[in-house]
């Protein structure tokens, strides 16, 4: 495998993470003021955010698999799948990840885990019956490239405070509604809640844009990584065409209910025009165009 460091990916990750860090510093400072200011307020905010961060970071693989209904698959149940993951992991110079399967008609796959030693790769039953061996290798290699690039850990960290901001906007608004605008708790309490909601909304919007920019580029990088692992970019291109075509045929109440997990999928679950506009993934056409370019480059050597 001719694996080259993707400096473009690293530069964009570093820039995006720096911008997110600046936004989140502002977020924490604003929340501290909203809680009344002072050392005790700062410690409260830091403790709460730190606790949630640790739980999400160290248990992200289990939480993601659980939320998607993925079950760990044994080599006896899926011998060919395990053999493929082990072979591709060796080619990518990675430890073999946990292999999981989601019982769903939607053909898709995702990777999760904070590091290569704590990673998991999951596929749906729909994917296994849709793709041939070479196409499945391409998809599995794409997910292993995410693991090698530590994309899951980076995206988990990057999206954490954005999720907290969204929850504050959502439940803070409900709190204002049920308390009559905060009149029962006094004007100061209402003002603090309102400030927290407005700041959280701003942080969520900015984070949303930055994280999606990062997410789209990491998909291009994972496609290039898959091509390096397998040496067959055309197989992944064929898989993407099959998956994107099949995705439109499945019932809308299947895996589409997990649309918030789009960043983890090889093909995003789309939901109308808005879903396409704010997709975590670049268009399938652009990804296939890149893979065809890689195919021509490989053939020229």
3-state secondary structure 273-300: HHHHHCCCCCCHHHHHHHHHHHHHHHHH
Strand 109-112 to 70-72 pairing: unpaired
* Token pair 């909203």 in the structure block, residue: 34
Contact 233, 295 (CB under 8 A): yes
Contact 177, 225 (CB under 8 A): no
Q: Which of 77, 134, 135, 143 is catalytic?
A: 143
Q: Is 143 a catalytic residue?
A: yes
Radius of gyration, CA atoms only, the chain:
21
* Residues recorded for the chain: 301
| SS3 assignment, position 267 | coil
**Cα separation of 229 and 93, whole Å?**
9
**Cα separation of 172 and 38, whole Å?**
22
What residues are annotated to the active site? 143
């Amino acid at each position: 495998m001719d694996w080259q460091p993707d400096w473009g990916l690293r530069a964009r990750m570093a820039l995006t993470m720096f911008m997110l860090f600046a936004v989140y510093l502002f977020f924490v400072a604003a929340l501290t003021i909203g809680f009344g200011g002072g050392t005790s307020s700062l410690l409260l905010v830091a403790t709460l955010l730190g606790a949630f961060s640790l739980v999400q970071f160290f248990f992200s693989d289990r939480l993601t698999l659980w939320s998607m209904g993925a079950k760990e698959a044994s080599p006896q149940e899926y011998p060919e799948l395990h053999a493929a993951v082990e072979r591709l992991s060796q080619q990518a110079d990675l430890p073999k990840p946990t292999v999981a399967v989601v019982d769903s008609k939607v053909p898709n796959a995702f990777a999760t885990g904070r590091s290569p030693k704590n990673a998991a790769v999951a596929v749906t039953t729909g994917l296994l019956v849709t793709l041939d061996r070479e196409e499945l290798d391409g998809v599995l290699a794409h997910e292993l490239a995410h693991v090698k690039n530590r994309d899951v850990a980076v995206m988990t960290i990057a999206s954490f405070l954005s999720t907290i901001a969204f929850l504050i906007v959502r439940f803070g608004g409900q709190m204002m509604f049920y308390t009559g605008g905060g009149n029962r708790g006094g004007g100061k309490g209402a003002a603090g809640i309102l400030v927290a909601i407005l700041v959280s909304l701003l942080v969520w919007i900015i984070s949303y844009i930055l994280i999606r920019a990062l997410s789209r580029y990491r998909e291009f990088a994972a496609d290039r990584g898959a091509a390096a692992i397998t040496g067959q970019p055309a197989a992944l291109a064929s898989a993407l065409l099959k998956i994107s075509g099949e995705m439109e045929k499945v019932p809308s109440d299947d895996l589409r209910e997990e649309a918030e997990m789009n960043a983890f999928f090889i093909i995003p679950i789309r939901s109308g025009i808005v879903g396409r506009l704010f997709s975590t993934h670049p268009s399938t056409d652009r990804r296939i165009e890149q893979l065809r370019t890689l195919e021509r480059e490989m053939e020229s050597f």
